Each structure stands twice: as structure tokens, then as C-alpha cells.
Structure 1
Amino acid sequence: MGKTVPIRLNDEQLARVEESAALAGYKHLSTYMRDRLLEPSKVDSHQGGIDQWADQQRIMSLLESLDQAQATNRTILAIVVYLLRQNSTQGKLSELRAELSALGSNEEALAALLPELAKDIERLSGED
């Protein structure tokens, strides 16, 4: 038989531990406490909470940058549609489509379509 280790809990702490043990389906409080104490995934639950918070912050940051990229895409698409309507001759449309298909990024598309606007945006955003 193993050794016992005395643990002192106040009434509130004991009530919380008993409730947790009952919810987890344990009949004996000592078995619940031993399992909780020695369970590897629960050894550092505080660290797990910090890791979860850090993951949430990273995900929020990624979602924010995705939202910004989508806003940029919508703006550039609106510019392209406007330009397509302004230059409605078939030759101009074909030339514009070819130019856009060769470009890799939104910034390149904007620079090709409206170079002055692209320079202003770059200057105002502080990018070099």
C-alpha cells in the first residue's frame, strides 16, 4: 500500500474539489486528486492557458491581416472594373487583361493600372 500525504484545504477548496471529482465520475476523492495531480496533460494547466491565449492572439492577428488583404483585393477589383468600363474597346480590354494576368500581386496590378496612385499610396503608407 502507498503512503498517504496530508493535504489541508479550506471549506471552499474542498467543496470545489468534491464537485470536480463528482463531475468527473469519481467515487473516491483521493483517487481523483491523485489522477489529477499525476495526469501529464494537466500538470501545467496554467501554461496551457497561456499557450491557448497566445494561439488566440496569433489567430486574431492572422484574421486581421486576412481582412486587410481582402479589403485591398476588393479595392483593386473595383479599380479594374472601373478601368474596364472606361476602356471599353475590345483591343483595350484584351491588352488590360493580358497585363493583369502577367502580374503576381495586387500592388503590381495597381502600379501597372494607376502608377501615380500606387506611388501616392506607397508614400502615404510609409513603405519604401
Structure 2
Amino acid sequence: MSDWGPVFVAVVLFILLTPGLLIQVPGKSRYIEFGNFQTSGVSILVHSIIYFALICIFLLAVGVHISNLFKSRNFLVMADWAPVVIGVVLFVLLSPGLLFSFPRNSKQLEFGSMKTNGKAIAIHTVLFFAIYAVSILAAHLHIYT
């Protein structure tokens, strides 16, 4: 049975916490900046910590599950850390502007620019969704404690 809960939570958090889209902590000139489409290594670190905390709350503490309502719900009681670990790693690696930004305004692909835009966030979100869904739903990766 496929549980889409971790995928939904991870993708929504990726969108909401992408530095520079809604908020950037710390900002370039102020502690908090809103919608500046900028990023930095420090802001990606801060947003990653917030992402980690929220994904732990939603997946491990609350246990968000979205599955077929007509099938039995036999979810494991043990904590599965794979959705958390994979989500945090992908959040860092796919944050637009850190390693790469695709597309950029003047170029198709730019490395380490620490800038982003709406198109880049959309494409990085699709990449995040695809890699995360394949890892969790198709490859069935699990890390139990």
C-alpha cells in the first residue's frame, strides 16, 4: 500500500521553506526578509533545521498518512526515519541557488549563484517530488529505530 502522506508533507514543506520564496532567515541586509528570491549558505542551514523539525513533527510525532481509504491501515508502529533523512538531504541539495539553479533569468543553468526565481523554485520542486517519491514509494527505503 502506498502512503502518500510523507511525500505530500515533504513537498509542501520544501515549497514553503525554500529560502527567498516566502521568507529568508537570515536575510542579506536584515535578520528576516520576505520574498527577496535570494539565499545564502547560512539561510539554507537555518531553513534546513526548521524543515527537519517540522518534518519530524508531522511524520514521526503526528504520523501523517494519506492512503487508499478502502484498504486496511496497517502502518508500522516503529519510527521510520527514511522520509525525514531523505527529505532533509534533498531539501539541502535541491535548494535553488546553493548547488545550482535551473533555470536562471539569463542562463539555463547556473551554479552556486545564491539567487533564485519562481521558475527555478517550481522546477526544483518537481525534481524534489520525483526523487522523493521514487525513494519512498517505489524503492521503499526505510530506516527504523
- Could you say which TM-score interval applies, normalised by the shorter chain? under 0.3
TM-score by length of 1: 0.27
Rg comparison, structure with higher value: 1
Greater share of residues in strand: 2
Which structure: greater helix fraction? 1
TM-score w.r.t. length of structure 2? 0.24
Name the structure, 1 or 2, with higher relative contact order (CA <8 Å, separation 6+).
2
